[in-house]
Amino acid sequence: MSNTFERLGLPERLVSTLARQGFTSPFPVQMATIPDSLAGRDIQGRAPTGSGKTLAFGLPVLSLVSRAKTKRPRGLILAPTRELAEQIRRDLAPLAAAVDRRIAAIFGGVPYGPQKKDLNRGVDILVATPGRLEDLIEQRCLELSSVDIVVVDEADRMSDMGFLPAVRRILSLTNPDRQTLLFSATLDGDVAVLARESQRDPVRVESGPTGEQDLDVEHRFWRVARSDRLAHTAAVIRDSQRTIVFTRTRRGADRLVKQLEKSDVSAVAMHGGRSQNQRTRALRAFGNGKASALVATDVAARGIHVEDIDVVLHYDLANDHKDYIHRSGRTARAGAGGTVITFVLDGQEKDARSIQRAIEIDSPLERANRPEVHLSPRRDSGHGSERPARSISKKRDVSRTAGKPSLSIFVGNLPWRITDRMLENLFAGHGQVSRASIVTHGRTGRSKGFGFVEMDADEAKTAITALDGSVLDGRSLRVRVAR
């Protein structure tokens, strides 16, 4: 194995903890930045949501920070929202424990007491939102002059949310010789200015084509009548596993949740008007499957990290392409497939087109399509033609292909309920399948939405041609030769 965390120069204790968590090979942004970060360089990292930025900055910070004195953290990670700050802390906590470093998060909307107590005990790595951090500094609960490594995560969102002045003030309080790692989905405009001011000779790493989403995301734009939006939303939620729905306003989110409940679809709202408690409860209900949809506004959803989202629905059109990217980035994390659906109302065609242009996607504005509900592969009806469903349980003679060269096939955008056996059956119609397995998430055991099939090379090629783009449970499958 050439792509291992060990090779990047990380300490063995982090590497073995990562392995226990099921992380064995680094993602591209991690491979591209960790060695330079470990060498002390400043970093500008641009990578789409879900590309693994947390470990990209978290691992070097954990490797580099020394022990903190009380109220004087050594490493600082700035994040725009409380959910994101807590998420980062949670992701890094087991790794911090492995190298005997303390990590804590501070953010607004919750009592000061526990956070002050953490700071008094001594926090080596502090994860913070700018507002609460400045607040606690003013209260003399901590001091930043010993901070010699800073991460600014989601810098573009910091900028959108008006936090850049606070970020500047905070940076000016840290050690002037510090190392600064800056991560963002976009590195232009104000973010570029911040980088220029706060970094020295940074290594710039860009991963993924400009502004474009993960390749396994399917972008669909549906023309719908305003009066049909609810029915379509309910149908989408019913036919998918986990959906995030975006509305423009808090009231819109609350209203939609109520309407969905009336249609027997359980949903929870997530927006800035809700208390920390309500948000936590909403996230939990969504996380454990009690609610099948999360209805969120842009700001609230930023940075929240929920696994295995298969559909992002733009109920209200995004304000611009940046918001579209941030919203859509909630799906297809860590290589799993996903579908992004945008409702386009009468008169919104131009705005939808300009979002498409900005991120270089060219999906047709289609008539709203109710997703299919049966596990029966068909040719994608994307252009109107449909073939009858094919039986998926037809198996071929096992001995016939023995000894021939085999090929590994990647299957993406799978419905979440599909099992190894169903995957095998799907391909068995085209030849002898020697292995079929769905990739599942290490911790939750849930399907990641993709899998691999091994079969005879010639038959594999036929299967790929036949099955790529076919529709299963409303999802159009991505089938290709595995790399």
Residue ranges that bind ligand ADP, judged by CB under 6 A = 23, 26-27, 30, 47, 49-55, 305, 333-334
Angle formed by the axes of helices 82-98 and 12-20, nearest 10°: 120
Q: Which does 51 bind (CB under 5 to 8 A by kind): ligand ADP, Mg ion, none?
A: ligand ADP
To the nearest whole angstrom, how small is the minimum distance from the Cβ of residue 53 to Mg ion? 5
Of all residues in this chain, which one has the CB nearest to Mg ion in the complex? 53
> Which residues of 185-314 form beta strands (DSSP E)?
203-206, 217-223, 243-246, 267-270, 293-296, 311-314
Q: Residue 333 interacts with Mg ion (CB under 5 A)?
A: no
Q: Which does 52 bind (CB under 5 to 8 A by kind): Mg ion, ligand ADP, none?
A: ligand ADP
Q: In what order do the strands lie in the sheet with 267-270?
A: 267-270, 293-296, 243-246, 311-314, 338-344, 217-223, 365-367
Cβ distance to ligand ADP smaller for residue 98 or 471: 98
To the nearest whole angstrom, how small is the minimum distance from the Cβ of residue 194 to ligand ADP? 18
Q: Residue 53 interacts with Mg ion (CB under 5 A)?
A: yes
Are 153 and 92 contacting, i.e. CB atoms less than 8 angstroms apart? no
To the nearest whole angstrom, how small is the minimum distance from the Cβ of residue 78 to ligand ADP? 14
Cβ distance to ligand ADP smaller for residue 54 or 406: 54
To the nearest whole angstrom, how small is the minimum distance from the Cβ of residue 53 to ligand ADP? 3
Q: How far is CA 41 from CA 31, 37, 96, 201, 280, in A?
A: 15, 5, 21, 8, 37
Tokens describing residue 356: 């498409």
Q: Which does 305 bind (CB under 5 to 8 A by kind): Mg ion, ligand ADP, none?
A: ligand ADP
To the nearest whole angstrom, how small is the minimum distance from the Cβ of residue 348 to ligand ADP? 28
To the nearest whole angstrom, how small is the minimum distance from the Cβ of residue 50 to ligand ADP? 5
Q: Residue 302 interacts with Mg ion (CB under 5 A)?
A: no
To the nearest whole angstrom, how small is the minimum distance from the Cβ of residue 298 to Mg ion? 16
Are 266 and 256 contacting, i.e. CB atoms less than 8 angstroms apart? no
Cβ distance to ligand ADP smaller for residue 71 or 157: 157
Are 306 and 283 contacting, i.e. CB atoms less than 8 angstroms apart? yes
Are 401 and 431 contacting, i.e. CB atoms less than 8 angstroms apart? yes
Q: Which does 356 bind (CB under 5 to 8 A by kind): ligand ADP, Mg ion, none?
A: none
Q: Which does 55 bind (CB under 5 to 8 A by kind): Mg ion, ligand ADP, none?
A: ligand ADP
Cβ distance to ligand ADP smaller for residue 30 or 356: 30
Q: How far apart are CA 35 and CA 41, in angstroms?
A: 9
Are 430 and 385 contacting, i.e. CB atoms less than 8 angstroms apart? no
Q: How far apart are CA 424 and CA 446, in angstroms?
A: 18
CA 223 to chain CA centroid, nearest Å: 26
Applying CB under 5 A, the residues found at the interface with Mg ion are 53
